[in-house]
């Protein structure tokens, strides 16, 4: 009787639907434009030889010689160290919070972890430069504490809260019936977790690890402050040598090379490599996290 008072939901549904579609399309278009720009600007480097660029360790802007080998090596080493350091603590914390803490204690614990996960990377970098690098230097008797090992440990500390909170969500989302059934069969809570809960939470846990790796792979400022900044591949897998990874290289040279010939193209090519790796890890992690336990 009073159409101007009672809202017409069918009439309002279409604008909401189309605004959502427009927003999603805008995000997708932005991603396509961004990735297209990266690969277009990288073409001069690819034309000179993709394999040579990926494997060479020479980087000399004065001679127009560019190789990404040292930066790729540094990224792999630092990310692997971060995962090896963070994964045991993250999984133990996630299992404890989901399976053994009271609901109130779980919320407090998750709140603390989410706060740490949201802390700016530059804060971690400053603490790493002021404290962690000095500890590494003194403990291992090094001349300088800015090493690949220091960067890996710092990245491990940074991604630990992310992996822990996401893995805890995956474990906690497993229906309680699985736990109750396992406990009724005489299993201990820990046995019930490994036999009944862990197999169903495994895709989400792997997704949490991949998302944590995605963050580690793209972290710039924190790593740049503690990695040392040398474009070398150390002999004998020396983790206590200074090095360089892709984000730290971009952070050091992007401002001085912006728009200037092959140097800029080589940095953009590094960015394209980093973009591809990060997007693959993020997409795989997000897909696995969306898989619900059944």
- Could you tell me the pLDDT band of residue 131, with boundaries at 50, 70 and 90? very high
- Could you tell me the pLDDT band of residue 65, with boundaries at 50, 70 and 90? confident
- Could you tell me the pLDDT band of residue 92, with boundaries at 50, 70 and 90? very high
Q: What is the pLDDT of residue 6?
A: 46
Average pLDDT value over all residues in the chain:
86
Q: What is the pLDDT of residue 2?
A: 44
Looking at the predicted structure, is the pLDDT value of residue 173 above 50?
yes
**Alpha carbon distance 119, 124 (integer Å):** 8
Mean pLDDT of the region 170-195: 88
Q: Bridge-partner residues for 92, per DSSP?
A: none
Q: What is the pLDDT of residue 132?
A: 93
Tell me the Cα Rg of the chain: 24
Q: What is the pLDDT of residue 146?
A: 92
Angle formed by the axes of helices 246-257 and 261-290, nearest 10°:
140
Looking at the predicted structure, is the pLDDT value of residue 69 above 70?
yes
Mean pLDDT of the region 74-103: 92
- Could you tell me the pLDDT band of residue 190, with boundaries at 50, 70 and 90? confident
Looking at the predicted structure, is the pLDDT value of residue 232 above 50?
yes
Is residue 81 within 8 A of residue 153, CB to CB? The reply is yes
Looking at the predicted structure, is the pLDDT value of residue 109 above 60?
yes
Mean pLDDT of the region 29-34: 87
**Alpha carbon distance 284, 221 (integer Å):** 25
DSSP for 64-88, written as a single string: TEE--HHHHHHHHHHHHHHHHHHHH
Alpha helices in 4-102 (DSSP H): 9-47, 50-55, 69-99
Mean pLDDT of the region 252-261: 80
What residue ranges do the domains of the chain occupy?
Answer: 9-47, 51-290
CATH for 51-290? 1.10.3720.10
Q: What is the pLDDT of residue 14?
A: 64
Share of the chain above pLDDT 70, in %: 94
- Could you tell me the pLDDT band of residue 4, with boundaries at 50, 70 and 90? very low
Mean pLDDT lowest among 73-87, 136-150, 213-227: 213-227
Model confidence, pTM: 0.85
């Amino acid at each position: 009787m009073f159409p101007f008072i009672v809202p017409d939901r069918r009439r309002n549904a279409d604008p909401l639907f189309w605004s959502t579609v427009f927003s999603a399309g805008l995000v997708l278009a932005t991603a396509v434009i961004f990735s297209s720009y990266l690969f277009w600007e990288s073409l001069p480097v690819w034309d000179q030889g993709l394999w040579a660029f990926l494997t060479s360790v020479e980087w000399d802007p004065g001679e127009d010689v560019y190789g990404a080998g040292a930066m790729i090596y540094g990224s792999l080493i630092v990310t692997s160290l971060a995962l090896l350091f963070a994964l045991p603590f993250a999984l133990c914390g996630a299992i404890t919070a989901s399976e053994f803490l009271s609901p109130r204690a779980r919320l407090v614990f998750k709140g603390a972890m989410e706060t740490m996960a949201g802390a700016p990377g530059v804060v971690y970098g400053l603490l790493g430069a002021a404290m962690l690098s000095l500890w590494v230097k003194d403990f291992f008797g090094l001349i300088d504490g800015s090493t690949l090992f220091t960067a890996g440990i710092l990245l491990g500390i940074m991604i630990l809260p992310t992996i822990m909170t996401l893995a805890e969500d995956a474990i906690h989302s497993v229906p309680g019936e699985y736990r109750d059934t396992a406990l009724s069969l005489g299993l201990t809570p820990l046995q019930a977790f490994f036999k009944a809960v862990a197999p169903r939470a495994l895709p989400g846990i792997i997704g949490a690890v991949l998302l944590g790796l995605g963050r580690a792979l793209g972290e710039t400022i924190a790593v740049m402050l503690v990695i040392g900044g040398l474009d070398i591949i150390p002999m004998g897998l020396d983790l206590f040598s200074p090095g360089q990874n892709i984000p730290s290289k971009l952070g050091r040279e992007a401002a001085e090379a912006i728009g200037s010939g092959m140097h800029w193209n080589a940095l953009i090519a590094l960015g394209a490599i980093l973009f591809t790796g990060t997007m693959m890890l993020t997409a795989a992690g997000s897909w696995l996290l969306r898989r619900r336990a059944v």
